[in-house]
Structure 1
């Protein structure tokens, strides 16, 4: 029984959107492209989007785990790249990071292919 992409790995589909949001968020919040907050969002967003897109094609535990780690970084990055004085950018980063972590963990737990790879490697 074949699954359609729309119902398969929906967590990765959402993570691609989160990554795209992170890439465009500095422009939405008027950060200069060469600022630390913008570079942080660009790089983290690109990693999240690319790994999630890759995971839609071929799934690997390491790709999901990397996205979880990047999600943790994004969630704590407002305090590290000094965006705490900007509530909109800070909340954007925290929510995007936490969502990435939750989606990654959810995928590890619920995707039968990933779950079997995860339990086989532990």
Structure 2
């Protein structure tokens, strides 16, 4: 989860970076960052929970776009280029950090055709109740 907290902070940073680093007058750069920032932060926050952890991978293409954006969009500001490249690399890398798995539930659809599923193992460990008594 720590990696996704950092990704959420990086998404928020993207929204403020143009004003802080002084390139707010370039609308191409700021529009790019104002669109991607909240989306990256949202995906990171959604992926804080174990059930929605896979959403962290949605930030991978966004991070890769941030790596390519300075050349595709023709950034003419060094601070913006460095910021986009650095944030893009961090978002991409941190999106692959899974986090600790607390519990496993059922096994999904694959449990339908497997013979040794988690729920079958759990059921075999429980004491049997004799209903004939």
Q: TM-score range by the shorter chain?
A: 0.7 to 0.9
Normalized against structure 1, the TM-score is what?
Answer: 0.74
Q: State the superposition RMSD in angstroms.
A: 2.2
1:54 aligns with 2:46: yes
Which aligned pairs between 1:72-87 and structure 2 lie closer than 5 A?
Answer: 72-83=64-75, 85-87=76-78
Task: List alignment gaps of at least 5 residues for structure 2.
Answer: 111-133
Greater mean deviation of Cα atoms: 26-35 or 36-45 = 26-35
- Rounded Cα–Cα distance in structure 1 between residues aligned with 2:84 and 2:2: 21
Deviation at 1:74, TM superposition (A): 0.8
Aligned positions, number: 103
Q: Deviations over 1:38-68 (max 9, x none)?
A: 010011111100111111145242x222111
1:30 shift after superposition: 2.9
Q: Distance in 1 between matches of 2:4 and 2:40?
A: 9
1:19 to 7, 11, 36: 11
Q: How does 1:1-122 map to 2 (within 5 A)?
A: 9-32=1-24, 35-57=27-49, 58-61=51-54, 63-83=55-75, 85-107=76-98, 110-112=99-101
CA–CA separation in structure 2 for the residues paired with 1:97 and 1:32: 19
From the CA coordinates, give the structure whose radius of gyration is larger.
Answer: 2
Contact 1:17 1:49 in 2 (8 A): yes
Q: Which has the higher helix share?
A: 1
Runs of 4+ in 1 over 4 A off after TM superposition: none
Aligned mates of 1:56, 1:66 — CA distance in 2: 13
Question: Relative to 1, partners in 2 of residues 1:14 and 1:65: Cα closer, same or farther, differing over 3 Å?
Answer: same
Question: Structure 1: where are the runs of 5+ without partners?
Answer: 1-8
